[in-house]
Structure 1
Amino acid sequence: MTTERKAARLPVFDRAAATPEQEAVLDEILSGPRGNLAGPFLAWIASPELAEHAQRLGAFCRYSTGLPLRLSELAILITAVQWRAQAEWQIHYPIAIDAGVSADVAQALLEGRRPVFVDTDEALIYDFAVELYGAKRVSDMTFAKAEERFGHETTVNLVGLLGYYALVAMTLNVFAMRANEDEPLPFNE
């Protein structure tokens, strides 16, 4: 398996030349719920230990936080907007729509506007994420609302999800990664 170069900052990854550590993490990624190397994994594979830990954290943050997929995907779209992460948006936009995030909400996010939320849980995820990214803190009021609605453990997991996808966004941005080179970019560069 040879993976073509995704961007000028990424060398071509050739599985035939992979180290045993890279092989092991590659097998773990491909046999897990993701089943592909989309997103930051082509960058992280250069550091197999980072890739191993990050992919496990990512699988937890994406599938096991206690939040419905719709809310997790909304949080990921908010993160993509905050970081202007092209591939993160390209990958997660269709997943978010399929999970129930409305196209109007997604479009407002993309345009940098606060969406008009019909769902109070979506509004709470938005407030929590935007407050955390903007102020680098969450107010007592917002925290209390999240904890009351989602519980303490899921609120902790929400912070982890936002942190993990910020790491993903940083990786995608540093390595100029795109999900599909043929699609128009969602964010101006």
Structure 2
Amino acid sequence: MTMTPRQRAVYEAIVHGQRASGPQHFPLLDSQGRLQGPFGLMVEVPEVGDPLQELGAALRYHTALTAREREIAILTVSRCTASNFERYAHEAVGRAIGLTDPELTALREGTFTTPDPREQAIATLSEHLTLRPVATPGDLPPAGILDRASVIEITTLAGYYRTLAQLMGVFDIGAPELAE
């Protein structure tokens, strides 16, 4: 695919940005150098794709959520949206940051529970926001479990990954290992 300068800039931001600077738990590119998952779509319409990939990088690398909390939220959204690519990608990330195989299975099946009230609240809120995207103060966990900033981060994260799931659904983009 011949890219415009704007498309090339988005491609480079994804391939050489924060996503590529640390350990790679899933490949961003296929064997022919094409971006996998939602990233190729971001390049197609750079006016939307660039802010979208920047938001994704902010959610992955610049929130107060721990890596474990973030992956619990992402994997909950991936289950609720049936997003095979996000499940594929973030189970690999989750495994790398310490989620156990039984926890990954429970997140995939919707049976995840944890004795940590904050992690449980994040999973519950992520599911609520994905299945019923309007939440009210009454839908939040009891006071003291999640602070206001965490609720904002989780709400934004759920919306972002829901958007990616919708984009990939429209264009029938699945997980590489499931597509073969």
**CA positional deviation for 1:160:** 0.6
Aligned residues: 166
**CA positional deviation for 1:149:** 3.1
Paired residues of 1:26 and 1:45 also in contact (CA < 8 A): yes
2:163 pairs with 167, 173, 178, which one?
167
**CA positional deviation for 1:175:** 1.6
Within a 5 Å distance, the mapping from 1:18-167 to structure 2 comes to 18-35=3-20, 36=28, 37-111=35-109, 113-143=110-140, 145=142, 148-167=144-163
Q: Which amino acid is the alignment partner of residue 178 of structure 1?
A: G
State the SS of the aligned residue for 1:177.
coil
Distance in 2 between the 1:170 and 1:44 partners? 13
State the SS of the aligned residue for 2:18.
coil
Distance in 1 between the 2:4 and 2:158 partners? 31
Paired residues of 1:86 and 1:173 also in contact (CA < 8 A): no
**CA positional deviation for 1:144:** 5.0
State the SS of the aligned residue for 1:160.
helix
Distance in 2 between the 1:67 and 1:82 partners? 20
Distance in 1 between the 2:136 and 2:74 partners? 21
Report the TM-score, using the length of structure 1 for normalisation.
0.79
Deviations 1:29-82 (A, max 9, x none): 222111243420112211011111101000011111210011111111111111
Paired residues of 1:25 and 1:51 also in contact (CA < 8 A): yes
Distance in 2 between the 1:170 and 1:100 partners? 28
Paired residues of 2:73 and 2:123 also in contact (CA < 8 A): yes
Identity %: 28
Distance in 2 between the 1:58 and 1:162 partners? 11
Structure 1 unaligned residues grouped into runs of 5+: 1-13
> Structure 1 stretches (4+) deviating beyond 4 angstroms?
none
**CA positional deviation for 1:108:** 2.0
Structure whose alpha-carbon radius of gyration is higher: 1
For 2:24, the equivalent position in structure 1 comes to: none
Paired residues of 2:59 and 2:157 also in contact (CA < 8 A): yes
Report the TM-score, using the length of structure 2 for normalisation.
0.82
Distance in 2 between the 1:22 and 1:34 partners? 17
Distance in 2 between the 1:101 and 1:138 partners? 28
Is 1:177 aligned to residue 173 of structure 2? yes
Deviations 1:103-154 (A, max 9, x none): 222212322x322313222211111112223333335355253x63342122
Paired residues of 1:127 and 1:142 also in contact (CA < 8 A): no
